[in-house]
Amino acid sequence: MSTATAPAPIGAITRSGPSLLSLTLLHAKFSVLETIRTPIAVVGNLLFPTLAMFFFVVPQASVAGNPLFATAAVGQLAMFSVMSTFLFTFGSGVAEDRALPFEGYIRTLPAGAAPRMLGRVLAGCLYALVSLIPLGVVGALFTQATAPPATVLLAALMVLVVGLPFLMLGLAIGYRMSSKAAIAVVQAVLFPLAFAGGLFLPAEIFPSWLNTLSQALPSRAGRDLLIQVLTGQQAYALALPVLIAWGLLFTALAVLAYRRDEGRRFN
C-alpha cells in the first residue's frame, strides 16, 4: 500500500535550515572565541617555536648566516609548530570538550557532527597559521632565511597538508581518552616524534641507524617535503608514501575512536 504526501497549504512558506557552510563557520567562530578567552593558551602556542628559533638557531652563526640552512631551520620549526597545534587542539582539546555536557548536547542536534568537526578543523588551521607569523618574522630579521613570497604562501599551505596526519592522531587521542590522559599522551607523542623527525636538530647529522629510523616517521616525512618546497632540497624517495601511510592509519584510528565514543554515549 502506498501513501501519498499531503500537499502543503496554499500560502505556506517552506523554510530550509542553515547550510553546512554557515554552520561550519559558526562553529569555527565559536571555537576561536572560546580559545581566546584564555589568552595564555594562544600566547603559549605562539611563543614556543619562536623562542626555539631565537635561542637555538639565531646564536649559531654557521646556521643563521647560511640562507639554505636558516630557511630549512624555519621549515623544521614551522613543522613542529603545526604538529603541536594539531595534537593539542584536537587531542587534549577534544578530550576536554567531551567532558562538558554542552558537547553531548551538540552531538544530538539534527545538523550532526560534521559542522562541529569542520569548524574545529578550520579553527585549528587558523591557530596553526597564526603561530607561523612570529616564527617567520624572527627568521627574516635575525637570520639569512629567505624565500620568494609565492614560495612562502605555497609552504604555508604545504605545512597544513603535511600536518593532517597529526590532526587525525589528535582526534584519535581526543575521542579515545580522558582529558588528563590525553595531555600526557600528546606530550609523550609530540616530543619524541619531533626529535626523531629532525625538527630540533638537522636530520643530516643523525647517525645512520637514527637516520633510517627517522625516515619511517611522519614527522621526518613532513619535514622533508616542507623543506623541499621552501628550499628546493629534494626529499628522500619514500617521504610521500610514508606520510600517506601514517595519515591513513591515524584516520582509521580517529574514526574508530569517534564511533566507540558515540556508541558509549548514545546507545
Quote the pLDDT of residue 4. Answer: 47
pLDDT tens for each residue of 212-256: 999 999 999 999 999 999 999 999 999 999 999 999 999 999 999
Length of the chain: 267
Quote the pLDDT of residue 213. Answer: 93
The better pLDDT of the pair 129, 4 is held by 129
C-alpha cell at 100: 562538558
DSSP 100: S
Instruction: Judge whether 70 and 57 are in contact, CB under 8 Å.
Output: yes
Cα–Cα dist 249/196, whole Å: 19
Quote the pLDDT of residue 52. Answer: 85
Give buried/exposed letters for 134-158 (b at 16+ CB in 10 A, else e): bbbebbeeebebbbeeebbeebbeb
The model carries a pTM of: 0.84
Q: Is residue 36 scored above 80 in pLDDT?
A: no
- Taking residues 98-102, what's their average pLDDT? 81
Per the prediction, the chain carries an average pLDDT of: 86
